[in-house]
Structure 1
């Protein structure tokens, strides 16, 4: 939609026929993205945007190709390149001389040059850098505010050679808008980082930093619970000093990025013990939240517990690596009977995700997993049989939970 808004004719390609049909009908295939539905309907109506399942045909008619197919890692931390390999071969089948190919999917360092370039060359008979341009340019946007983030942050580009870098820079200058910013070392816009590898590392580095930062905040929170200290007050005080930017602690780190990309970095740099420890710390927070519940509630065997929030973060209908899954598993290990509710999901949708939906069953405990805005108004009277609430995101109003043991991760009110 951003590209189409700049006057370009855009074709979206996807293997999901339902997504393609939705786009061609002018209906956003996912809710919650600010400004998307209005722009989509207009662009489809005037012919600037169409969608297809025939990727090769779409590539054959394109001057630039942008790939955003997700790349995940398996439980051992190994990247699963299967979907990206298939997408790359489909692109290669339609690739013509003079085309720019840009990978925006976050990748391990070296993937663009060492994996995608050979696949594209093999499938097309063309040579990268000589016959077509190839760059890596990472997405740096957050779901729900994509258009704003595209304007705010510099667009990073790294080519496999100078010709590719030049073409990639020119393309993104033609399809993006940038806000004026005075807090950058150089003008906002497209930044050529000098190589595909540098751009790949930049994306991994900024995401891994966030994971390590959150892990540090979680470590502070766990200590604060033992020491009877409010970690959030401490963090707020620390962050008044310009060299400190400690993130907030919480029950889980979810989404497509932070739980995944540090694993990709570790695949490149297996000796990065700090990164590995941070990832393990964050992965352990759902268990920690359930332990807090058990210590406050007592034996959870047979207890019916409601998990509030299936989404990985508030306001987003997305469960990628959501903390709901390990939280439900931890409750079951303690012998509890968990249920899940979420204002964005119907019970049938939760069932399809393998989550037991809450349909009015009485529950005696609750664990808040997602920071939906609706939970700020949630009150004890809406869950009248609940004796203990563990707020994993510090969003509930204590005044609304009189008579209930309310436990907040890191507030130190329940010393361990």
Structure 2
């Protein structure tokens, strides 16, 4: 097939490479000229995605992957178009469709009869049918479900392990009509590989959910579930902290999860990234009466402030205290600060009059400064809060932070045996 992938970001580029690895001819379209030049040179534009460098070089070298800034021209040559332009929301969860609208109009101008259009960007329920269908029809003069096929098929991968996740998890597809769903199912069957999963209720592969709305809801529901689950265990952890007796929430969670009907997550200082903090708000945009979802989002958003409270309880007055926040990334091993807990943690420290510094093994001082953070350049600190579970922090000791009196380990990453003589605090411990 000839395939066009619109947006060569951390999800779109691995998808384009995956399609090319299956022998299809892929054109990646992106508005960023730098990204286009790097891809055409076989150079990954961002680090950290396992396997991407080699697979990208192979695809470009074989002539199966090229990149362009001309989306319309790329679409005109394609039998299938996959759109992975991010949908951003404000703090209230109101979507800003500007970038996706623009991309969709560019796709519409090049759309030809018989083409499959698949949106992989997470969307509010109903968006594929009621927004993209009419917009594509308006710009192309073609009717969805009649002249071209239209589906929603959510990405279900984590950056850093996209290729492994593409094989591991079923691909969900929903169409604006039955013919579109069948075409989408056939397409993804041809471009993906799947590992056998004996634990699944249906064989691993492409799952046709019927309507596009079902696939949209499935993506929002599975992500919102995680937010609610984390909020629940965070509240259990805060309850354990208030008891004043020896309750370790980690042991409680292990005990609960020894029974097959309990799948509690782990407590922590923050829930970050492009997905979990965002998609529950997107769901609430459609369903403002979802009180459980709203309460969970508020509970998780309060955790960085709670970690600072734990620090103040153990340390005392924080005004004027130099405090190091360990980790700018939203999760360990990933160079990404989207909705990272570092920002509310620094804000909560500053609100108490502390002097917050930030360090991260993945970021230079200049990069931290560009994010509005004050990099740690070796200044003495008397307290620290671990915000990201980088593997490097497992070996951390007080000798690495001379003068530190209190450590709040918000991810339970440090080794308690290494921290004798320092007041080490964990959430729910």
Give the alignment's TM-score, normalised by structure 1: 0.98
- Runs of 4+ residues over 6 Å off in structure 1: none
Aligned equivalents of 1:247, 1:65: Cα separation in 2: 36
Residue in 2 aligned with 1:237?
255
Residue in 1 aligned with 2:14?
none
1:75 and 2:81 correspond:
no
Residue in 1 aligned with 2:274?
256
Shift of 1:29: 1.6
Residue in 1 aligned with 2:69?
53
Give matches, 1:282-293, under 5 Å.
282-293=300-311
1:271 and 2:261 correspond:
no
Residue in 2 aligned with 1:205?
221
Aligned equivalents of 2:37, 2:364: Cα separation in 1: 23
Shift of 1:160: 0.1
Aligned equivalents of 1:171, 1:239: Cα separation in 2: 38
The one of 356, 361, 381 aligned to 1:363: 381
The one of 151, 165, 170 aligned to 2:167: 151
The one of 395, 401, 404 aligned to 1:377: 395
Shift of 1:76: 2.0
Aligned equivalents of 2:142, 2:426: Cα separation in 1: 58
What is the CA RMSD across the aligned residues, in angstroms? 0.8
1:338 and 2:338 correspond:
no
Give matches, 1:304-319, under 5 Å.
304-319=322-337
Residue in 1 aligned with 2:202?
186
| Offset from partner CA, 1:8-33 (integer Å, 9 cap, x none) | 11111112222222212212122111
1:125 and 2:141 correspond:
yes
Shift of 1:375: 0.3
Q: Secondary structure at the match of 2:210?
A: coil
Residue in 2 aligned with 1:106?
122
Residue in 1 aligned with 2:341?
323
| Offset from partner CA, 1:167-222 (integer Å, 9 cap, x none) | 10110000000111211111111111010000000000000000000000100110
| Offset from partner CA, 1:125-145 (integer Å, 9 cap, x none) | 111111110000000111111
Aligned equivalents of 1:91, 1:222: Cα separation in 2: 49
Shift of 1:46: 1.5
Shift of 1:363: 1.0
Give matches, 1:76-91, under 5 Å.
76-91=92-107
Between stretches 82-91 and 252-261, larger displacement belongs to 82-91
Give the alignment's TM-score, normalised by structure 2: 0.95
Aligned equivalents of 1:237, 1:362: Cα separation in 2: 41
Shift of 1:258: 0.3
Q: Secondary structure at the match of 1:194?
A: strand
Residue in 2 aligned with 1:4?
20
Q: Secondary structure at the match of 1:126?
A: coil
Structure 1's unaligned 5+ residue stretches are: 412-416
Residue in 2 aligned with 1:414?
none
Structure 2's unaligned 5+ residue stretches are: 1-16
| Offset from partner CA, 1:33-75 (integer Å, 9 cap, x none) | 1111111111111211111111111111111111111112112
Give matches, 1:27-42, under 5 Å.
27-42=43-58
